[in-house]
Structure 1
Amino acid sequence: MPLFLIERNFAERIDITTGSVREVTEINQDIGVHWLFSFLSADKKKTYCLYEASDSEAIREAARRAGVPADVIVEVDQINPAAFA
C-alpha cells in the first residue's frame, strides 16, 4: 500500500489525549487509512505523520472527518538503510 507523509499545521498548541487518538483511529479504520508514526514539533503546533493509504484523497477525507488539517500530503517511498550497507 502507498505511503504518505502528512504535514499538519495547528494555530494553537495541540493536546493529544487518549480519547482524541481513539476517535481518529476509528475514523481512519472507517476510511481505510492506517497511521504508522508521527513526530510533534517542539512548539506543539505542527505534526508530521506517516500513513498507509490507497491514495491522497483518502488521507484528506480522514482529516476532514477528524477535524484536523492535512496541509501537505506527499507520497513517499521507504528507504531501507541496510540496503546501502
Structure 2
Amino acid sequence: MPRYLIERTFPDGLNVPMNEAGADALGGVIMRNAEKGVTWVQSFVSPDKKHTFCVYDAPSPEAIRSTAQMNSLPVDKITEVRVLEPYFYR
C-alpha cells in the first residue's frame, strides 16, 4: 500500500485535549479512516501547533482527501513517499 506525507495548516493551532475527550476524538478519526482503507501511522506537530506533517498508508490521495473531509481536517499537500533508512548504505 502506498505511503503518503500529508501537510496540514491549523490557523488557530491544533488542540487535542489530553483526556478522554481527546482520545475519543482521535479514535473517531481512526474509525472513519478505516472505512476508506486509510491508516494513520504517525504525525509530527510544529511547536506552535499550527502545522502538522502526517504519515498515512492509503490506497490513493483521493481516499486521504475523502477521510480528511469526513474528519473536518484540512489538507494542504499530499506527497507519496518511501522510506530511506540512513543505515542502509555502508
TM-score grouping bracket, smaller chain normalisation = over 0.9
Q: TM-score, normalised by structure 2?
A: 0.89
Q: What is the DSSP-based 3-state SS (H/G/I as helix, E as strand, rest coil) of the residue aligned with 2:87?
A: helix
Structure 1 residue 78 displacement after superposition: 1.1
- What whole-Å deviation, never above 9, does each CA across 1:10-66 have from its counterpart, x for those lacking one? 121111121210110011111110111100110011110000011100100010000
Q: What is the DSSP-based 3-state SS (H/G/I as helix, E as strand, rest coil) of the residue aligned with 2:70?
A: helix
Q: Identify, as 1 or 2, the structure richer in helix.
A: 1
Match of 2:83 in 1: 78
Distance in 1 between the 2:32 and 2:89 partners? 37
Count of residue pairs brought into register by the alignment: 85
Equivalent residue letter for 1:20? A
Runs of 4+ in 1 over 6 A off after TM superposition: none
Distance in 2 between the 1:44 and 1:60 partners? 21
Equivalent residue letter for 1:55? S
Q: What is the DSSP-based 3-state SS (H/G/I as helix, E as strand, rest coil) of the residue aligned with 2:88?
A: helix
Match of 1:12 in 2: 12
Corresponding position: 1:41 with 2:41: no
Equivalent residue letter for 2:33? N
- The gaps in structure 2 that reach 5 residues or longer are 17-21
Q: TM-score, normalised by structure 1?
A: 0.94
Identity %: 39
